[in-house]
Amino acid sequence: MNTMKIKVFLIVLIASGVFIPACKKDNGGSSTAKLTSQQINQMQNSDAQDAIAEKTDQDIDKSIDQLQATNYLVPVGKSLSASGSLVITVNHPDSTTFPKVVTLVYTNYQDSTALESFIKNGEIDLTITANGTNKQLVTRALTFKHFSVKTDSTTFTVSGTRTLVRTGHTFKFYGLQGSRFTATDNITANLSYAITKTGVSDTLKFTRVVSRLRKAFLHYDNFGGNLWKLARFRNNLSKDTITLSGTVTGINEKGDPYTKTVSSASPLIITFYRGTPVITSGTMDYTVTGTSASSYTITFKDDPDHPRNTLITVTNNTTLATNSFDRRFSRKLRRWW
């Protein structure tokens, strides 16, 4: 069994990062009650945790989707907007042999298309098996090993396992212009996140046990030429859409259990702008138990005052107090207790 190792320079993943809430806005709704400062900090940190997890997941899924689209042949190329390296190893670089063992090893991986500096290091190991005779319907079992992302303000590390089961797959080819890949995935995960703030000695921690449905519409455009032998395709993020629904249970940085639920009737609809995921619509129910027991309804939409940002509105289901803020870059996670 031969192993093919090819070092590629940051062509597959989009920048992985921490999208931290900022910009408090005027409260919406008819209620004049306000969330307490502790509740606001809790909700903003909770949203930051979601953003960390969502962005990490989307980067990995897109990377392996593109690898699958090339029949597991690692593309050779370089992104002009990136530095550092990614080494991809595939033990069976073909479309027929399963199971496959794939490793992704990052060394100072930095994609400058992000609006803040993000540097990846560490390893992700995958075992990919085919589900029946359709080799496009696969199960991916991932293990994170010493995986971290350093930003301007924080460093977060991820450990644990994540499994994706692909239940649907379609591919539409538009000739030399491009193609669209549609995937329906059931995802489960048990991941631990540790966040170290720059200049702060303690570490924030939270865990997420996930069961969710992901439907992805991924677009690829030709950027290499008009002749078949020159045609090269790469992911066009500006056209991509991700739909998410499901449940997350976990332990927050205070140590209190929580549950977050997104129903299929009002899923999170995610688009991308300059590598940043923007939630354009959706509703989430968020319940915390333990010492800070509370229940909230959270709505997401485009911010009409700040285009390409997600406007998040939080309503306390007991007091009807509300608060709104934008999700965007360049803020630290904070202890809120």
Q: Is the pLDDT of residue 8 over 80?
A: no
Q: Which helix (H) or strand (E) holds 298?
A: strand 294-302
pLDDT on residue 328: 66
The per-residue pLDDT for range 271-280, each reduced to its tens digit, is 987 777 889 9
236 phi/psi in degrees, rounded to 5 = -105, 95
| pLDDT tens figures, 132-153 | 888 999 999 999 999 998 877 7
Residue 20's pLDDT band (cuts 50, 70, 90): very low
Taking the C-alpha atoms of residue 204 and residue 227, their distance in angstroms, rounded to an integer, is 52
CB neighbour class for 3 (10 Å; exposed up to 12, middle 13-18, buried from 19): exposed
Q: pTM of the full predicted structure? A: 0.81
Worst-scoring range by mean pLDDT, 4-8, 102-106, 294-298?
4-8
Query: What residues does each domain of the chain span?
Result: 4-327
- Per-residue confidence (pLDDT) for residue 30, from 0 to 100: 44
Q: CA nearest 44: which of 16, 17, 25?
A: 25
Rounded CA separation 130/280 (Å): 34
Q: Where do the H-state alpha helices sit in the chain?
A: 37-69
CA atoms within 13 A of residue 114's CA, in its CB half-sphere: 28
How high is the pLDDT of residue 49? 85
pLDDT at 29: 43
Largest CA-CA distance found in the chain, in angstroms, rounded: 67
Supply the pLDDT for residue 99: 96
To the nearest 10°, report the CA torsion of 317, 322, 326, 330: -90
